[in-house]
């Protein structure tokens, strides 16, 4: 009975050593507590497994399992942070003076999707130097508008008119005001104005055309 008791004590002591060793190794991965009180984990060192050769197999398994868990936790926190930052950029774009058409022009220029273009614009116009960011985006738009304007030949499908608020009926009355031979030519003219950022010019022309030809 005494021998069994000694073995049990030995096993219990070994368990405490394994747990203590594992906690010591895991502490190497800790950077400290964040401002929210949650623990922040460092990225895994490439040679992390080489720190374990003197430990028992059970201890190695326990440590590596918890080490991987800490790494996944750190990666998850980073992913959430990136998503929050992107949402902030999209909100900044929505508050800015730039339109969906502007974002589409830059998306085509940057060869990316519109969502990414919106976030990229938002990142420039948010923060302390928003005015400088707006000037930067304006310059980028100028560079992007020129090739888009040159690409409009009046024979191919329009890229920006379908995304605007203008309708076929609007093109009909604008064609009369502008002296265009058909609504299609008016659509092409609207397209060019949208590319140049002259949406307000078109709206004023449309209001004049509706009052003159439709009696509004």
**Taking the CB of residue 188, how many other CB atoms lie within 10 A of it?**
20
Q: Residue 32 class from Cβ within 10 Å (0-12 exposed, 13-18 middle, 19+ buried)? A: exposed
Q: What are phi and psi of 173, to 5 degrees?
A: -70, -35
Predicted pLDDT at 176: 94
Report the DSSP beta bridge partners of residue 130: none
Percent of the chain with pLDDT over 70: 62
Predicted pLDDT at 213: 84
pTM over 0.85? The answer is no
- Which among 19, 96, 30, 24 has a CA at the least distance from the CA of 62? 19
pLDDT of 143 > 50? The answer is: yes
For residues 8 and 194, which has the higher predicted lDDT (pLDDT)?
194
- Which among 155, 166, 179 has a CA at the least distance from the CA of 206? 166
Predicted pLDDT at 65: 65
pLDDT of 76 > 80? The answer is: no
CA 177/CA 155 separation, integer angstroms: 22
Helix (H) or strand (E) run with residue 90 in it: helix 57-95
Domain boundaries, the chain: 2-85, 97-151, 157-216
């Amino acid at each position: 009975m005494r021998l069994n008791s000694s073995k049990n004590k030995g096993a219990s002591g070994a368990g405490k050593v394994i747990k203590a060793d594992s906690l010591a190794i895991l502490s190497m991965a800790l950077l400290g507590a964040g401002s929210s009180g949650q623990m922040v984990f460092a990225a895994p060192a490439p040679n992390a497994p080489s720190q374990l050769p003197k430990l028992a197999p059970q201890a190695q398994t326990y440590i590596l399992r918890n080490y991987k868990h800490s790494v996944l936790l750190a990666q998850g926190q980073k992913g959430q942070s990136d998503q929050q930052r992107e949402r902030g950029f999209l909100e900044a774009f929505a508050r800015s003076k730039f339109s969906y058409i502007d974002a589409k022009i830059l998306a085509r220029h940057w060869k990316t999707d519109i969502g990414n273009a919106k976030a990229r614009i938002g990142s420039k116009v948010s923060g302390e130097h928003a005015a400088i960011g707006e000037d930067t985006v304006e310059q980028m738009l100028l560079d992007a508008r020129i090739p888009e304007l040159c690409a409009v030949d009046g024979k191919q499908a329009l890229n920006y008119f379908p995304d605007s608020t203008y309708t076929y009926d609007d093109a009909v009355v604008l064609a009369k005001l502008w002296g265009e031979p058909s609504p299609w030519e008016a659509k092409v003219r609207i397209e060019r104005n949208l590319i140049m950022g002259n949406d307000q010019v078109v709206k004023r022309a449309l209001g004049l055309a509706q009052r003159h030809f439709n009696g509004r």
